[in-house]
Amino acid sequence: MRPAQSHSRRRFVSGLARASATAWAGQVLASAACAAGDDPAGVDRAEAAGYGTLRVPPTIAGGELVAAVGRQEVWSGTATTVWTVGGTYPSPTVRVRAGATFVARLRDTLAEPLNLHWHGLVTPSDMDGYPSDVVRPGESREYAFEVAQRAGTYWYHPHTDRRTGAQVYAGMAGVFIVEDDEEGALDLPSGPFDVPLVIQDRRSTPDRSFTYAPMPMDVVSGYLGDATLVNGTPNARLGVERTLYRLRLLNGSNARVYRIAFSDGRSFHVIGTDGGLVERPVEATAVDLGPGERLEILVDFSSSLEGTPVLLRSLAFGAAGMGGMGGAGGQGAPLDLLRFEVGGGAGGAARIPSSLASLLRLDPARAVRTRVFALQMGMGPMMGGFAINGRSFDPGRVDARVALGDTEIWEIRNLSQEIHPFHVHATQFQVLDRSTRMGLGPQDLGWKDTVLTWPGETVRLVLRFEHYRGLYVLHCHNLEHEDAGMMSAFEVV
Ligand code: C2O
Ligand code: CU
Ligand code: CU
């Protein structure tokens, strides 16, 4: 028996994600089912046009996570070989409450080592997925830590030395949602109206495989695909009711940056960033989302016309936006992500809270030092090397030591022609300023663990490590850049 989606989204389903790929691929949101009932002809038309119903991964609270090779019907009519952790692509959505102890056992049935990293969560060093701290084929290990985090949308994925890009691309990554009372009191859209969306691009090869074979050229910009998958669904469609939705956007792509917007140019409200809710909703019509980043938005379909689809899309930017190099499928190319099919019905009243959360502001005047991290390509000691401060990653070398409790300013300098999403483990930071004229965007406002740096740009952060001592990494979250060495080990002492 399969629980209705509205139930599994509300409840914490503990233990193993048992649903097989085929079983859960058939699950639809309750609202999608309603829309289908209201307008079967419209749905038929959409399916004829090649749209597939948005997949919804199962929800878990922990348990056994088996890394395995599987087959899943990603594109309809063909099975694609995927590597799953927890039985599905994307991986199951973890939902836990702040303060809970999260326990998961990773078992590796693949032919290569791997680990898991809990992106955005602050865990002890030996639970964080340090690149050389891996599980060998045939072995397993337990991850257990207290979720000492604000409510928010985090995620998890392998972090294996030089293999992160390949392992994530093969299908292993999932959303990790933390809930708490402060957020619960806000009465934000919940159940089927709270929709996690994992956005990834893949190359649509003739055999519909997730072949990952970056050529040196691909490593420069990262491994970009021409097909955009949302929750593992190409050309995804979602039936929605005429009411307010909370979308939790995760850019789980290896390298692609999205400029999130809607096809009708409608505005939406940014309510959260990597580290949870912002102080108050910020109205926007387009927001950049780099690899590794999350964005929570409220979008109101209450005045949308029944039968008029609205597309979530990525707008053109950069060279592709100018119609130049990098067009079709390149970085900055315009892409459609998800088609919302607005159903009938009265339309629920949209309540957008005027304030969301109180944010502790880190005071840069309290910083005891400024540290510079220069992100370099082809400028390191090795020609063609991807480096931070001139050095490519070595898991056995500690590049920086930061004292627990010290407030610091980190100056991230992008010294290249490419975009680098800078990510640091073991804390959340706040963005102080950007050297470019674009200034801070809505995605820069709250707590962050990943920040986009544009070619030539310097971004200043203020941060403090206040939980655990130990070894962690910071890196570019373009996974090809990371695997090529744009990563650095630091120790909190
Ligand atoms: Cu999501 Cu160190 O990574
Ligand atoms: Cu991380
Ligand atoms: Cu990079």
Q: Are the CB atoms for 486 and 476 separated by under 8 Å? A: yes
What size, in residues, is the chain? 493
Residues 6+ apart with CB under 8 A from 388: 373, 374, 375, 376, 399, 474, 475, 476, 486, 487, 488
Ligand at minimal distance from the CA of 452 is 3
- Sheet containing 152-157, strands listed edge to edge, beginning at the edge strand earlier in sequence: 59-60, 93-97, 174-179, 152-157, 117-119
pLDDT at 369 over 90: yes
pLDDT for the residue 239: 96
C-alpha 117 to ligand 1 mean position (Å) = 7
Q: Is the pLDDT of residue 232 over 90?
A: yes
- Ligand 1 pocket at CB < 6 A: 117, 119, 157, 159, 292, 423, 425, 473, 475, 477
Which ligand has an atom closest to residue 373 CA?
A: 3
Indicate whether this model's pTM tops 0.85. yes
Tens of pLDDT, residues 422-447: 999 999 999 999 998 788 999 999 99
Q: Which residues, listed in sequence order, are joined to residue 461 by a DSSP beta bridge?
A: 410, 431
Residue 405, judged by CB atoms within 10 A of its CB (0-12, 13-18, 19+), counts as exposed
Mean pLDDT of all residues in 237-250? 96
H or E stretch including 59? strand 59-60
Q: How far apart are CA 70 and CA 17, in angstroms?
A: 14
CA-475 nearest atom, ligand 1: 2
Q: How do residues 63-107 score in pLDDT, each as one tens digit?
A: 999 999 999 999 999 999 999 999 999 999 999 999 999 999 999
Question: What pLDDT does 323 receive?
Answer: 45
Give the pLDDT band (50/70/90) at residue 338. very high
Q: Which atom in ligand 1 lies closest to the alpha carbon of residue 157?
A: 1
Checking DSSP bridges between strand 63-72 and strand 101-108, what pairing results, if any?
parallel
In angstroms, rounded to a whole number, what is the distance separating the alpha carbons of residues 346 and 412? 49
d(CA 119, CA 126): 14
Selection from 410, 415, 445, 442 nearest residue 427 by Cα: 410
Q: What is the pLDDT of residue 40?
A: 43
Sequence-ordered alpha helix ranges (H) in 61-143: none
The predicted pLDDT at position 290 comes to 98
**What does the pLDDT read at residue 319?**
72
Structure tokens at 336: 């459609």
Q: Cα(322) to centroid of ligand 1, in Å? A: 31
Buried b (16+ CB within 10 A) or exposed e, 425-448: bbbbbbbbebbeeeeebbbbbbbb
Q: Tell how strand 335-342 and strand 236-240 pair up.
A: parallel
Q: Which atom of ligand 1 is nearest to the CA of 473?
A: 2
Mean pLDDT of 325-341: 85
Neighbours of 146 (CB within 10 A): 16
H helix runs in 69-187, sequence order: 164-169, 181-184
What is the average pLDDT score of the chain?
Answer: 89
pLDDT tier at 351, thresholds 50, 70, 90: confident
> pLDDT at position 38, please?
42
| pLDDT higher at 13 or 128 | 128
For atom 1 of ligand 1, the residue with the nearest CA is 119
Choice among 2-16, 77-91, 223-237, 243-257 with the minimum mean pLDDT: 2-16
pLDDT digits (tens, 9 = 90+) for 26-41: 332 233 333 333 444 4
DSSP 8-state code for residue 95: E
User: How much is the pLDDT for 344?
Assistant: 78
| Cα 328 to Cα 10, 205, 296, 314, distances in angstroms | 40, 15, 28, 13
Nearest CA to ligand 1 atom 3: 119
Distance in Å, CA 90 to ligand 1 centroid: 16
**What are the Cα distances from residue 322, in Å, to 58, 315, 326, 387, 454?**
41, 12, 10, 29, 16
Amino acid 131: pLDDT = 98
**Ligand 1 atom nearest to CA at 474:** 2
State the pairing for strand pair 407-414/458-464.
antiparallel
Ligand with the closest atom to the CA of 118: 2
CA distance 186 to 148: 20
Q: What is the pLDDT of residues 452-480, one digit of tens each?
A: 999 999 999 999 999 999 999 999 999 99
Q: Give residue 20 CA to ligand 2 midpoint distance, Å.
A: 28
Q: What is the pLDDT of residues 392-428, one digit of tens each?
A: 999 999 999 999 999 999 999 999 999 999 999 999 9
| Residue among 419, 408, 415, 417 nearest 460 (CA) | 408
Per-residue confidence at 372, pLDDT binned at 50, 70, 90?
A: very high
What separation in Å is there between the alpha carbon of 118 and the centre of ligand 1? Answer: 8
For residue 422, the ligand closest to its alpha carbon is 3
pLDDT of residue 270: 98
How far is it, in rounded angstroms, from Cα 82 to Cα 104?
A: 21
Atom of ligand 1 nearest to the CA of 129: 2
> pLDDT higher for 251 or 345?
251
Reported as a single tens digit per residue, the pLDDT across 179-224 is 999 999 999 999 999 999 999 999 989 999 999 999 988 999 999 9
Radius of gyration of the chain (CA): 21
